[in-house]
């Protein structure tokens, strides 16, 4: 590659660029370094975010790697919201919209300053998807250094994750544990920085990032405090300069087949329901369409080979001990397009040739899979014509087919209050609506509701249906992403208390037992609710966001 092909030459070459060179000099850039590739380091360090509080150290190592490879690093920041901290209050409205803000802010900086390549550091739920959206949109050489999971907590001799503490709050209310036990649990549930120690959205997306070749081998499951993470950070700095020289871009890696690989892996590892929002949104940036039907077709044909928390007892620490993503790829090789390229130069088939599964009890071979189908199921019917999703691997068999009377609430808070006041009984179907992308707005996670549901001992006898979404840690008969949403006048807006709803995970069906004539009468008198926010970003978001079945993206 010659310097004339670098984007950064537009900034520094020619007599008419003297002012730019002077400004860079004022930032500490020496003249002799102006010929080097300009590499942006996107650091999402956040002092209030356990998943991101350690990223400054990794950013320094990335910078050292860039310098080692004769690149010129420029660090800049963007936002990182913690889903856990935003749970159960107004703050959760803002979390999904932050994904678009992250992608936009990276695009704005990289384009305005004509950066030649990017290394992006992030760990958690909306941050990693936002970075992947930016990478695909910009299509300049890019790598992610995902910050790694936190080590799992320990309580009663068992590995624990943060969602179990939330469920323990329900046990406290029911008198199953004492205040002292709850406080002790709280002290032991987390062990330092990193993404939550479970196969939630954060770690699902980090594993998929490694699969599609946008991070180096072992990055996804190497834990935040491990030596391996530091090594990967420095090597990523070196590798990005090589990628600029090779002109190896995200769209060379994130092909249509790579996205299909990602859907397959998500189904096999017990991935989060939120992948239905994020994978289509990332693919859309390069004109590739991934639909809920693609997830369903893949799930029907993909065995489940990992059951990590919340679906099982294993943690990401166990998955890392087994060999991480390279081992998952090898075990799934007959189901993946192994010819896909990676950022580290090899194709998938070459990258795992010498990989060995060190914990087949954690990452099972296909012939010993937990089930013949993947983790998610897409249900359709007159309540959700465009589909909705359930994490079928986390539902007890008795609730995979269930019919019960609807208990209808127009917000998560109303449903929680009813559960806490013992107004929900075994067999009910809780309906929480006006929580979709537009109606929410922001498509809040219903984790506050689901953890009360589980903590109150209702998780094996009561179903929950919503046009909102769930945390990746959700378990139980919880059906989300109902489309069209209530705010758009979807059938969920017409449900009344006492209507019977059938959920049939095995046959992929969801049915509202109200005849079409009655539904049409209700439709004629239905009126949209006034917007919950009349100013600021949420007002703008509500007006332009797409439905969940299209990834909840902005037009």
Residue of 98, 272, 311, 471 with catalytic role: 471
Burial 91-120 (b: 16+ CB within 10 A, else e): ebbbbbbbbbbbbbbbbebbeebbbbbbbb
Cα separation, 11 vs 72, whole angstroms? 14
Take residue 21 and report the two structure tokens written for it: 């060179």
Q: For residue 188, with 0-12 CB atoms within 10 Å meaning exposed, 13-18 middle and 19 or more buried, which class applies?
A: middle
Q: Find the helix or strand (DSSP H, E) in which 430 lies.
A: strand 429-432
Contact 374, 302 (CB under 8 A): yes
Residues with Cβ < 8 Å from 243, sequence gap 6 or more? 117, 141, 143, 343
Contact 174, 453 (CB under 8 A): no
Active-site residue 471, yes or no?
yes
DSSP of 365-392: -GGG-SBSS-SEEEEEETTEEEEEEEEG
Tell me the Ramachandran region of residue 208: left when phi exceeds 0, alpha when psi lies from -120 to 50, beta otherwise. alpha
Contact 124, 197 (CB under 8 A): no
Take residue 296 and report the two structure tokens written for it: 């369903």
Torsion angle in degrees (nearest 10) through CA of 268, 273, 275, 277: 160
Look at residues 422, 451, 449, 454 and name the one whose alpha carbon lies nearest to residue 435: 449
Beta bridge partners of 402: 503
Burial 47-63 (b: 16+ CB within 10 A, else e): eebbbbbbbeebbbbbb
Distance of CA 8 to the CA centre of its chain: 32
Beta bridge partners of 404: 501
Cα separation, 84 vs 448, whole angstroms? 10
167-172: long-range pairs with CB below 8 Å, 24+: 167/451, 167/454, 167/455, 168/455, 169/451, 169/452, 169/455, 170/451, 170/452, 170/454, 170/455, 170/456, 170/457, 171/455
Residues with Cβ < 8 Å from 439, sequence gap 6 or more? 433, 467, 485, 486, 487, 488, 529, 542
Catalytic residues, by residue number, are 471
């Amino acid at each position: 590659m010659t310097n004339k092909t670098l984007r950064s030459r537009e900034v520094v070459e020619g007599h008419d660029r003297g002012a730019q060179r002077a400004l860079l000099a004022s930032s500490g850039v020496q003249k002799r370094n102006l010929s080097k590739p300009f590499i942006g380091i996107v650091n999402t360090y956040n002092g209030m975010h356990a998943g991101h509080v350690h990223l400054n150290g990794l950013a320094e190592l990335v910078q050292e790697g860039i310098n080692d490879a004769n690149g010129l690093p420029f660090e800049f920041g963007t936002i990182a919201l913690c889903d856990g901290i935003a749970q159960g209050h107004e703050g959760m409205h803002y979390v999904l919209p932050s994904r678009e803000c992250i992608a936009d802010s990276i695009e704005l900086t990289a384009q305005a300053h004509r950066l030649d390549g990017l290394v992006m550091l992030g760990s958690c739920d909306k941050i990693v998807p936002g970075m992947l959206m930016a990478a695909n949109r910009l299509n300049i050489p890019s790598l992610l250094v995902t910050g790694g999971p936190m080590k799992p907590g320990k309580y009663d001799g068992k590995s624990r994750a943060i969602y179990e503490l939330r469920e323990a709050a329900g046990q406290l209310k029911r008198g199953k544990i004492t205040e002292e036990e709850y406080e002790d649990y709280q002290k032991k549930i987390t062990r330092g920085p990193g993404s939550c120690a479970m196969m939630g959205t954060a770690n699902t997306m980090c594993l998929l990032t490694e699969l599609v070749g946008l991070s180096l081998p072992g990055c996804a499951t190497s834990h935040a405090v491990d030596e391996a993470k530091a090594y990967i950070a420095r090597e990523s700095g070196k590798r990005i300069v090589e990628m600029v020289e090779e002109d190896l871009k995200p769209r060379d890696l994130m092909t249509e087949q790579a996205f299909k690989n990602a859907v397959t892996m998500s189904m096999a590892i017990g991935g989060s329901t939120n992948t239905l929002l994020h994978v289509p949104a990332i693919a859309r940036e390069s004109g590739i369409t991934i639909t809920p039907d693609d997830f369903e077709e893949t799930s029907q044909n993909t065995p489940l080979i990992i059951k990590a928390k919340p679906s099982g007892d294993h943690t990401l620490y166990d998955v890392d001990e087994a060999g991480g993503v390279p081992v998952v790829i090898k075990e799934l090789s007959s189901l993946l397009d192994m010819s896909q390229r990676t950022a580290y130069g090899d194709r998938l088939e070459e990258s795992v040739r010498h990989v060995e599964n060190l914990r087949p009890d954690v990452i099972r071979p296909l012939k010993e899979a937990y089930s013949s189908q993947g983790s998610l199921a897409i249900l359709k019917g007159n309540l959700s014509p465009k589909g909705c999703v359930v994490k079928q691997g986390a539902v007890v068999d008795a609730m995979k087919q269930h019919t019960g009377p609807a208990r209808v609430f127009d917000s998560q808070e109303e449903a929680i209050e009813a559960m806490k006041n013992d107004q929900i009984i075994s067999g009910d179907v809780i309906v929480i609506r006006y929580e979709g992308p537009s109606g929410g707005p922001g498509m809040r996670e219903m984790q506050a509701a689901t953890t009360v549901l589980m903590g109150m001992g209702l998780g094996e006898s009561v179903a929950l249906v919503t046009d909102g979404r769930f945390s990746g840690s959700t378990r139980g008969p919880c059906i989300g992403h109902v489309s069209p949403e209530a705010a758009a006048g979807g059938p969920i807006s017409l449900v009344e208390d006492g209507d019977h709803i059938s959920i049939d995970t095995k046959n992929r069906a969801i049915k509202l037992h109200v005849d079409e004539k009655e539904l049409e009468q209700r439709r004629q008198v239905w009126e949209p609710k006034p917007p919950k926010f009349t100013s600021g970003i949420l007002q703008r978001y509500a007006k332009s966001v797409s439905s969940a079945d299209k990834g909840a993206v902005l037009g």
